[in-house]
């Protein structure tokens, strides 16, 4: 099988590319990535020159490029990980979220339809469902009700994907996962940001009361689920993918401090994110029953491997937090 993986130099995409290259000897990957601030060829160290991998620096909004890649590499499927992915950035500059997440997805869909490819897998998010109170979980039937420009752009993309299936018979799947964590995550997201700050004895900025809840999914479990959807799911289906690991942000940060042997006086409560979703929790029973997938890594195991990975990959971390990241951090957190 020949597949285009978009966003394969980002956090989840690069984990997916490495997993597939390790585990499937008859899959050829064309990795299409624009290398924004979040994309990094260092995430593919040791895999760039793999004989089953071709990296192409390019934009998913570039229709002629996507069509040429489909022709040149006889592509059977597209898995769309590429996105602007950070809620906080979407609250500052929403425009680029529409460009990549909506127009980019539309461009890929048009090319997929034109070239009659066998499968289009859209990597979406549980954030399209909005926020939960203390009880309940998101199922695939939960109405979409996105609260941030990021989640609104992802929901719009999901609707476009579905509409291409409904109107023209495009064979698609949509996956909606909860918060991922693990190796190679850019330190704008909470877990690697807190690890990096704690390692440098910097304040750990907790938004509001810190009692917001996320359902943490180890990135490897997520990638295994996406592979199952690509290879085993019926077209036209949507699957929730969750870790069954609900934690408050304060619980997560305290685990990180414990593991690193740092004092919880580093925790600083700062001004909350506008429109902050209180709780996400995912019911994954559909993918478990239909495709036999289940999460294999508990949060307690996964957070230890993740922290250890950042400790053992200081060079990677130092590179990604140099330059632009310092400006970002200052603009987002100073005086907050
Ligand atoms: P990321 O920000 O780490 O990586 C995104 C990648 O997409 C980067 O390599 C970037 O260079 C690339 N990219 C951005 N714009 C592009 C464009 N116009 N053309 C080509 N490439 C472009 O994101 P991630 O955390 O790996 O998330 C991957 C996908 O999973 C996204 O679609 C995101 O919405 C979804 N998701 C992520 C999480 C999470 O916890 N990280 C949770 C749910 C869903
Ligand atoms: P994040 O990793 O940005 O993911 P998302 O907003 O998509 O769930 O944030 C996870 C949680 O951590 C969320 O409740 C916001 C909170 N958070 C902080 O408290 N401080 C921070 O510096 C960051 C980045 C996030």
Exposed, middle or buried: residue 289 (CB in 10 Å: 0-12, 13-18, 19+)? Answer: exposed
Residue 104 Cα: closest atom of ligand 1: 18
Cα 110 from Cα 114, distance rounded (Å): 6
From 35, 60, 85, mutation site for ligand 1 pocket: most ligand atoms within 8 A of C-beta:
85
Q: What mean pLDDT is predicted for residues 22-48? A: 97
Give residues (CB < 6 A) around ligand 2.
87, 179, 189-190, 193, 205-207, 212, 214, 249
Contact 77, 84 (CB under 8 A): no
Q: What mean pLDDT is predicted for residues 124-132? A: 98
User: What confidence score (pLDDT) does residue 323 get?
Assistant: 83
pLDDT tens digits for range 268-324: 999 999 999 999 999 999 999 999 999 999 999 999 999 999 999 999 999 999 989
User: What confidence score (pLDDT) does residue 63 get?
Assistant: 98
Q: Is the CB of 7 under 6 A from ligand 1?
A: yes
Distances from the Cα of 223 to the Cα of 16, 25, 159, 230, 241, angstroms = 5, 17, 23, 11, 10
Distances from the Cα of 58 to the Cα of 53, 153, 157, 212, angstroms = 15, 21, 20, 36
**DSSP conformational letter for 128:** G
φ, ψ (nearest 5 deg) of residue 212: -70, 145
**pLDDT tier at 163, thresholds 50, 70, 90:** very high
User: What confidence score (pLDDT) does residue 82 get?
Assistant: 99
Minimal-distance CA residue to ligand 1 atom 15: 83
Domains of the chain: 2-182+218-242+276-296 (3.40.50.720)
Q: Is the CB of 82 under 6 A from ligand 1?
A: yes
pLDDT tens digits for range 241-256: 999 999 999 999 999 9
From 152, 195, 247, 249, mutation site for ligand 2 pocket: most ligand atoms within 8 A of C-beta:
249
Sequence-distant (6+) residues with CB within 8 A of 193 are 187
Q: Is there a catalytic annotation at residue 47? A: no
User: What confidence score (pLDDT) does residue 334 get?
Assistant: 95
The maximal CA–CA distance of the chain, rounded, in angstroms, is: 57
Minimal-distance CA residue to ligand 2 atom 24: 190
Give the dihedral of Cα atoms 111, 36, 10, 52; nearest 10 deg. 60
Cα 234 from Cα 291, distance rounded (Å): 10
Q: Is there a catalytic annotation at residue 84? A: no
Average pLDDT, the chain: 98
Q: Is there a catalytic annotation at residue 181? A: no
Distances from the Cα of 101 to the Cα of 1, 52, 98, 127, angstroms = 26, 27, 5, 14
User: What confidence score (pLDDT) does residue 27 get?
Assistant: 98
**DSSP conformational letter for 138:** B
For a pLDDT cut of 70, what percent of the chain falls above it? Answer: 100
- Specify the 3-state DSSP secondary structure of 87: helix
- With residues binned 3-state (H G I as helix, E B as strand, rest as coil), the percentages for the chain, rounded to 5, are 45, 20, 35
Overall pTM surpassing 0.95 (yes/no): yes
User: What confidence score (pLDDT) does residue 2 get?
Assistant: 98
Residue 146: pLDDT over 90:
yes
Exposed, middle or buried: residue 209 (CB in 10 Å: 0-12, 13-18, 19+)? Answer: exposed
For a pLDDT cut of 90, what percent of the chain falls above it? Answer: 99
pLDDT tens digits for range 67-89: 999 999 999 999 999 999 999 99
Q: Residue 335 corresponds to which tokens in the numbers above?
A: 């005086």
């Amino acid at each position: 099988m020949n597949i285009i993986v978009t966003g394969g130099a980002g956090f989840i995409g690069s984990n997916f590319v490495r997993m597939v290259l390790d585990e499937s000897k008859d899959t050829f990957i064309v990795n299409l990535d624009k290398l924004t601030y979040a994309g990094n060829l260092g995430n593919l160290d040791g895999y760039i020159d793999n004989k089953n991998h071709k990296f192409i620096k390019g934009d998913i909004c570039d229709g002629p490029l996507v069509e040429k890649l489909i022709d040149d590499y006889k592509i059977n499927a597209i898995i769309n990980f590429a996105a602007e992915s950070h809620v906080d950035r979407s609250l500052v500059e929403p425009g680029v979220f529409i460009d990549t997440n909506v127009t980019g997805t539309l461009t890929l869909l048009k090319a997929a339809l034109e070239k009659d490819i066998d499968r289009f897998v859209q990597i979406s998010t549980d954030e399209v469902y909005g926020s939960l109170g203390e009880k309940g979980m998101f199922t695939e039937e939960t109405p979409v009700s996105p609260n941030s420009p990021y989640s609104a752009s992802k929901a719009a993309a999901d609707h476009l994907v579905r509409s291409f299936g409904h109107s023209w018979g495009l064979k698609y799947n949509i996956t909606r996962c909860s918060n991922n964590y693990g190796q190679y995550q850019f330190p704008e997201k909470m877990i690697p940001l807190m690890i990096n700050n704690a390692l440098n004895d910097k304040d750990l900025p907790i938004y509001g009361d810190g009692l917001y809840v996320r359902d943490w999914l180890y990135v490897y479990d997520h990638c295994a689920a996406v592979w199952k959807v690509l290879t085993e799911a019926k077209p036209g289906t949507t699957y929730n993918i969750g870790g069954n690991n609900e934690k408050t942000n304060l619980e997560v940060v305290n685990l990180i401090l414990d593991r690193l042997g740092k004092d919880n006086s580093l925790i600083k409560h700062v001004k909350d994110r506008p429109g902050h979703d209180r709780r996400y929790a995912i019911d994954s029973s559909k993918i478990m029953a239909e495709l036999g997938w289940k999460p294999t890594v508990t949060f307690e195991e996964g957070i230890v491997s993740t922290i250890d990975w950042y400790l053992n990959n200081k060079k990677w971390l130092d590179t990604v937090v140099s330059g632009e990241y310092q400006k970002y951090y200052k603009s987002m957190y100073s005086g907050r």
